[in-house]
Homo-oligomer: A and B are copies of this chain.
Amino acid sequence: MFTLGIDFGTNSVRALVVRCADGEEMGSAVFNYPSGHQGVLLDPKDHNLARQFPGDYLVGLEKSVKGALAAAAKKRGFSRDKVIGIGVDTTGSSPIPVDAKNRPLALDPKWRKNLNAQCWLWKDHTSLNESSQITELSSHLRPQYIAKCGNTYSSEWFWSKVLHCLRVAPDVFDAAYSWVELADWIPSVLGGVEKPERITRGVCCAGHKALYSDEWGGLPDKEFLGRLDPKLAALRDRLYEKAYDATTAAGKLSYAWAEKLGLQPNLPIAIGEMDVHYGAIGCGVAEGVLVKVIGTSTCDCGVVSADQMIRDIPGICGIVKGAILPGFYGIEAGQSAVGDIFKWWVEVVCGGDAGLHAELTKEAARQKPGQSGLLALDWNNGNRTVLVDPLLTGLLLGQTLYTTKAEIYRALIEATAFGARAILERIKEYEVPVQRIVCAGGIAEKNPMLMQIYADITGCTMQVSGSSQACALGSAISAAVLAGAHKNFPAAQKAMTHVLPKSYRPNSANQKVYDDLYRLYRRVHDAFGGVDRNADLSRVMKDLLVIKHAARR
């Protein structure tokens, strides 16, 4: 038996055919979104804007699935009629304005070229003002709403984006009957759902991103929404009352799409989740196992049994029951830029390419911890966790007249690892157990230097996911559980996921140096991040020199 996992990323969509028995990846195919810059619609006048053309999703859905099935067909033992379910994951929060027939406005020629009528991609930050307003209102009127997302509502999330659209493009807002997260919309398309009210919404996206919780009866109440804008309160009736975890099916494959894809009709379709959540499942997330997806940005996912009480964790932006694994609180944290920072340094500043990445990695690998005398903050794209502040920026200090670009490259890697440690320390402080960290993403697979630095800085053994398509794999696992191939998620994960044999253990000598550097990182982090408003930074540069000289000795 096999299932299909379909992963809608930022630049492309990937479909993967997986064997339920052991997670063997039978075939996959990738389709790059043709619109905009690498699939993203940009506005040269506004760096904060990032949209996506929904038509690309439909073409990509068909092409990637057909490609994956064709690839699988070359493998012994596979046949299309043995595909028993479909799972979907996407970026998020990426809401799409749709009409009353569940069609994205942007598919209508009238709105085709309107940036506000497209899918509002997760990394769109145009709604900074709206997110502040929601945070402000919530902290006074409904503090419980944002207590589960670090007391700060983000410009990346559902209500900020919808409210911003209402303000800058009222025509688009008025034309939209409802708004649907991409993760919910794709399953609804496959299931032939033609009314937004009939979409089965996942709690994963609804969770903190739309401020949904069973504790307060679903979405934010109308009084709250009305204080933001009466039209937002009116929209609530055209959204949803209830959101579901992955034990509920999103629907069944429609005849039209079954025919298009060459699959059996009525196949169960798993609930849509965000890529990192199904990615976490594909990496084997469990109590005590933190999953870290390291890409352009980073997402950390952990789970804690829903049987026990969990306190709200300051600065941790998502604690939602069932958001990742049914029966567990999902805990989500993240760094707004990781790979993007390295890319910025190598490509934007140094004007290099993959060759320079490789060269700097090689040079940086020869350096000892602390040897450069440098310290950086990993905030070039703001700080998602634990400060939840998109208005923070990067910082580099300790440079002399001899500082090289490879030293800065390493300092930036270290900065992201310090950021990772800050998250880890925060969740451990709130009794979320972490025994192992499993990483996924290209950087984890390809950069042993970075992985060793992460191990040395966090003091945790780092493992690498056995699948380089963990998100799609997680979607396929969800489909396999739903279709009954495994009795539950832990059993499916045990059978279908694994880690690579090579793991990275902390080197105790390096750990010692990095503990010292981390203390300095925290001092600068807390000073510029607003945690410590009476910071004594007078020794930071000198302490760095002491560490530097010790490392060079």
Name the B residues within 8 Å of A337 (CB-CB). 401
Q: Is the CB of A391 within 8 A of B545?
A: yes
A400 at the interface (CB under 8 A from B): yes
The CB with the most chain B CB atoms within 10 A, among A402, A403, A530, A537, is that of: A537
Q: Is the CB of A545 within 8 A of B393?
A: yes
Name the B residues within 8 Å of A393 (CB-CB). 373, 397-400, 541, 544-545
Q: Is the CB of A380 within 8 A of B396?
A: no
Within 8 A of B (CB), among A377-409: 377, 379-381, 391-405, 408
Per-residue B-contact encoding for A443-484, CB less than 8 Å = 1, 0 else: 000000000000000000000000000000000000000000
Copies in the complex: 2
Residue from B391, B400, B540 within 8 A of A381 (CB atoms): B400
Name the B residues within 8 Å of A401 (CB-CB). 337, 340-341, 343-344, 348, 380-381
Name the B residues within 8 Å of A395 (CB-CB). 395-399
A327 and B296 alpha carbons, distance in the complex (Å)? 65
A141 at the interface (CB under 8 A from B): no
Given contacts A394-B399, A534-B535, contact A349 B404 (CB under 8 A): yes
Determine the main DSSP class of A at the interface with B.
mixed
Nearest Cβ on chain B to A292's Cβ, whole angstroms: 20
Given contacts A341-B401, A399-B394, A401-B341, contact A528 B540 (CB under 8 A): yes
A399 and B394 alpha carbons, distance in the complex (Å)? 5
Which size bracket describes the interface of A in this complex? 35 or more
A502 at the interface (CB under 8 A from B): no
A258 at the interface (CB under 8 A from B): no
A283 and B245 alpha carbons, distance in the complex (Å)? 78
Q: Is the CB of A344 within 8 A of B527?
A: no
Name the B residues within 8 Å of A537 (CB-CB). 527-528, 535, 537
Residue from B340, B377, B402 within 8 A of A47 (CB atoms): B402
Within 8 A of B (CB), among A534-553: 534-542, 544-545
A491 at the interface (CB under 8 A from B): no
Q: Is the CB of B404 within 8 A of A380?
A: no
Q: Is the CB of B391 within 8 A of A541?
A: yes
A344 and B400 alpha carbons, distance in the complex (Å)? 8
A495 and B84 alpha carbons, distance in the complex (Å)? 98
The CB with the most chain B CB atoms within 10 A, among A392, A536, A541, is that of: A541
Q: Is the CB of A527 within 8 A of B538?
A: yes
Closest to A373 in B: B393
Per-residue B-contact encoding for A507-544, CB less than 8 Å = 1, 0 else: 00000000000000000000111100111111111101
Nearest Cβ on chain B to A47's Cβ, whole angstroms: 6
A-B contact pairs, 15 of them (CB 8 A): A344-B399, A349-B408, A373-B393, A377-B397, A380-B400, A391-B545, A393-B397, A393-B398, A394-B398, A394-B399, A394-B400, A396-B397, A527-B527, A534-B536, A535-B536
Q: Which 10 A-B pairs have the closest CB atoms?
A: A530-B538, A394-B399, A395-B397, A534-B534, A533-B536, A527-B537, A344-B401, A393-B398, A393-B541, A396-B396
